Structure 1
Amino acid sequence: MSAAGTPSQAPISVVERISLILETFIGTPPLTLVEVTKRTGLPRSSVHRLLEQLTATGWLAREEQTYELGTKAYEIGRSAFNQNRLLQQAAPVMRRLAQSVGFTVHLGMIDGGDVLYLASVPGQHSPAMTTVIGTRAPAYLTAVGKAVIANYPEDRRAEMRSTPLRRNTPHSIGTHAQLDAELARIRDQRVAYDRQEFAVGISCVAVSLGPPDHYYGNRAAISVFGSSDRIDLAKLAGPLRIAAVEIWDRCTASHLPTHQFENWRPRTSDFRSA
């Protein structure tokens, strides 16, 4: 359920209600009591009480008649990023890759049906369009998202077919049959592309992290994106695969049996063909 929509079933527990209220402030300007009530669908009295409690504890800040995220939310958010092992290990690899290829490098993970962007490193030839850290996009419209959901087991991919696909551009995948075919290609080639599917004029190539049956292989991917008239997606696939292997090595290789890791490591021919 979107924080901006009306929930089909109001959350019952206090934790659910607090979570819903805090999520309402993601990506919005300051909100009034009336606006938060409308967006959450919760009783006005409950919203007012929880807003005051969240303000008193620092999760929200109030300025006259409006509320916004407070210092506590910022502190926890920064702590989450600082404690994230994937972010810590991916950052230096992403910086080197962005410097080498000259385009923006993204790190994203799947949350529900969306890609959540965790990190972004611009390159020399990065387009004016930027991705704000912490923003979301439908997974099937992005190279990062498709690189990950291609690894889903069949039963999980089948669940996705009950949701209609929204097209952002004339190039977007519009049917589940098209998406299934694209995901099959990604599983075979181990690389995903977004050719102006999310935004006109922007193209992207992505590789998932780790083997398909491991946590990161089913959650996270890195990508390189740039202006469609400047970026050579096929040429970037090889360096991106190498970067993905390095991130995987830094994060989890020592915790896996050697044979499981070696079965996933891309073949040398993958780099030459790219």
Structure 2
Amino acid sequence: MTSRDPGPPDSVLGRAVLLLDAFQADHRVSLSTLVERTGLPKSTVHRMLGDLVELRLVEKGTDGYHLGGRLFELGMRASVERQLMEIAIPFMEDLYERTHETVHLGVRDGTEVVYVAKLGGHRQALSPSRVGGRMPLYCTAVGKVLLAYAEPHLLEQVVAGGLVRRTPRTIVAPGLLRRQVEAIREQGVGFEREESQVGLCCVSAPVLDPDDCAVAAVSVTGPVTRFRPEAAARLVRAAGAGIAATWARRPSH
């Protein structure tokens, strides 16, 4: 840890969340890896894992630990994301049928995108996204759309946090990112061209609330060898508008 790192949280709950976050995208994680990722003492991690296993939040196998089924059950009770996903799925299925490429639904959490749904067929391109996974706002089409329809200070926060180059085409110039965000506001869609992963391109549109703030963004992603994001822009924009209209009419919302 650096001198600026405040270290692990003091509370039991805070340390439990830190430990659960340490699983990242791994299917199986060893005790030593969790100790390294959390910075907690080995005895503390071992004791907390025992409690989490007993609560079915974590499961223990012969080759390490993995997140348990109870976490999925709790996650599905997160009302806003679950309701939004239920509304969006028919529109996402329609997008997939029309494009036969991978379709995403993402929401913003801080300066990152969290993917809440993903649809793709047998020929879907290898993508860094996964349901429940996170990506920076500045290097994905979904993220840039969410950034464009957020509070203005968020863009400055993202720039101040550093635009790390993930591929040769990642936008790392603040001025270029600002111009793209402005274009998204004008056109209603955003694009990514091999900025998060080489070989992938994407088009995204917002799901807007009545105040023109994005509650989510929907996208279509495909390989640059066959997918033309401009050709799907109209379909994605219509899907975003359809999800937004249905979301606004939902009585429980």
Task: List runs of 5+ in structure 2 lacking aligned partners.
Answer: none
TM-score normalised to structure 2 length? 0.87
TM-score normalised to structure 1 length? 0.81
In the TM superposition, residue 39 of structure 1 has moved relative to its aligned partner by 1.0
- Secondary structure of the residue aligned to 2:198 is coil
Task: List runs of 5+ in structure 1 lacking aligned partners.
Answer: 256-274
In the TM superposition, residue 78 of structure 1 has moved relative to its aligned partner by 4.3
1:14 aligns with 2:12: yes
CA RMSD of aligned residues (A): 2.6
Aligned-residue identity in percent:
33
Q: Tell which deviates more after alignment, 132-141 or 189-198.
A: 132-141
1:251 corresponds, among 220, 244, 247, to: 247
Q: Which residues in structure 2 correspond to 1:22-37 (within 5 Å)?
A: 22-37=20-35
Q: Which residues in structure 2 correspond to 1:38-187 (within 5 Å)?
A: 38-63=36-61, 66-80=64-78, 84-122=82-120, 126-130=123-127, 131-187=129-185
Structure 2 Cα separation of the partners of residues 167 and 40 of structure 1? 25
Q: Which amino acid aligns with 1:132?
A: R
Structure 2 Cα separation of the partners of residues 161 and 249 of structure 1? 32
Structure 1 Cα separation of the partners of residues 98 and 121 of structure 2? 8
Is the radius of gyration larger for structure 1 or structure 2?
1
1:191 corresponds, among 189, 193, 196, to: 189
Structure 1 Cα separation of the partners of residues 75 and 237 of structure 2? 30
Structure 1 Cα separation of the partners of residues 184 and 200 of structure 2? 20
Structure 1 Cα separation of the partners of residues 164 and 215 of structure 2? 22
Instruction: Provide runs of 4+ in structure 1 moved above 4 Å.
Output: 78-83
Superimposed CA distance per residue, residues 250-271 of structure 1 (whole angstroms, 9 cap, x where no aligned partner): 111467xxxxxxxxxxxxxxxx
Structure 1 Cα separation of the partners of residues 27 and 237 of structure 2? 39
In the TM superposition, residue 29 of structure 1 has moved relative to its aligned partner by 4.0
Structure 1 Cα separation of the partners of residues 5 and 232 of structure 2? 42
Structure 2 Cα separation of the partners of residues 62 and 108 of structure 1? 30
- Secondary structure of the residue aligned to 1:95 is helix
Question: How many residues are paired up?
Answer: 248
- Secondary structure of the residue aligned to 2:153 is helix
Superimposed CA distance per residue, residues 95-123 of structure 1 (whole angstroms, 9 cap, x where no aligned partner): 11210223221111112222121112225
2:223 corresponds, among 216, 220, 227, to: 227
Equivalent residues of 2:111, 2:154 under 8 A apart: no
